[in-house]
Amino acid sequence: MLKVLLTSQDISAGIDQLAAEITAHYAEKDLTIIGVMTGSIILLSDLIRRLDRRMRVGLIQARSYQGENTTAGHLQVNADMLPEVEGTHVLLLDDIFDSGQTLSELVNRFQKLGATSVRTAVLLRKDRPRDVTLTADHVVFDIGNHFVVGYGLDYNDEYRNLPHIAILPTQDFPS
């Protein structure tokens, strides 16, 4: 049984606040939002519809969780769907800030690609120790150190379609 952590109404209100923060920060700047696939696709869709401004949107696939794993492994990146980012202000949008390794690596990559600035926004930030110095610039919700699913987040490619965020009980993990 999944325990709902954040309702769809909670999420919607949080994204409204995130949109206001992004609008204020990038008031007169050209913006390129890069969604980190696959977990951020629902967030990306909902967020960009709340931003009344010109922007470019791109996707990058980065994953460190494979199949039934519940701990991060080696980061795999596919940048085939990226627009040109040299000389642009980039906002990396991800579903969750867990270990921080994915966003830290991606920020470095975008800086090397010549982005004018690189900032980060995440839907969720887990309360846990991290080995990276990067902190997310925009955080919608802080949560405990739970394995969560829904609203784009998955376990073994399931649960992404839930309209809310729920805690996946540890007994649902394989032994």
Cβ neighbour number for residue 87 with a 10 Å cutoff: 10
pLDDT at 28: 86
Helix (H, G, I), strand (E, B) or coil at 53: coil
Question: If pLDDT is split at 50, 70 and 90, which confidence band does 77 have?
Answer: confident
Q: Is the pLDDT of residue 73 over 90?
A: no
- Looking at the domain that runs over 13-64+76-143, which CATH code has it been given? 3.40.50.2020
What is the C-alpha end-to-end distance of the chain, expressed in Å?
A: 18
pTM of the shown model? 0.88
Beta carbons of 34 and 58 less than 8 angstroms apart: yes
Q: What does the H/E/C string look like for 58-109? A: EEEEEECCCCCCCCCCCCEEECCCCCCCCCCEEEEEEEEECCCHHHHHHHHH
pLDDT at 131: 86
Q: What is the mean pLDDT of the chain?
A: 90
Q: Is 142 a catalytic residue?
A: no
Domain coordinates of the chain in residue numbers? 13-64+76-143
CA distance 102 to 99: 8
Q: Is the pLDDT of residue 78 over 70?
A: no
Q: Is the pLDDT of residue 68 over 60?
A: no
Distances (CA, A) of 134 to 29, 37, 58, 78, 118: 23, 20, 22, 22, 12
Average the pLDDT over 55-73 and give the result.
Answer: 71
Average the pLDDT over 29-38 and give the result.
Answer: 93
Residue type at position 135: T
pLDDT at 63: 72
Q: Which among 95, 98, 131, 154 is annotated as catalytic? A: 98
Considering only CA atoms, which of 85, 94, 143, 82 is closest in space to residue 120?
Answer: 94
Residue 99 gets the label, from left (phi > 0), alpha (psi -120 to 50) or beta, of: alpha
pLDDT at 169: 86
Q: Is the pLDDT of residue 172 over 80?
A: no
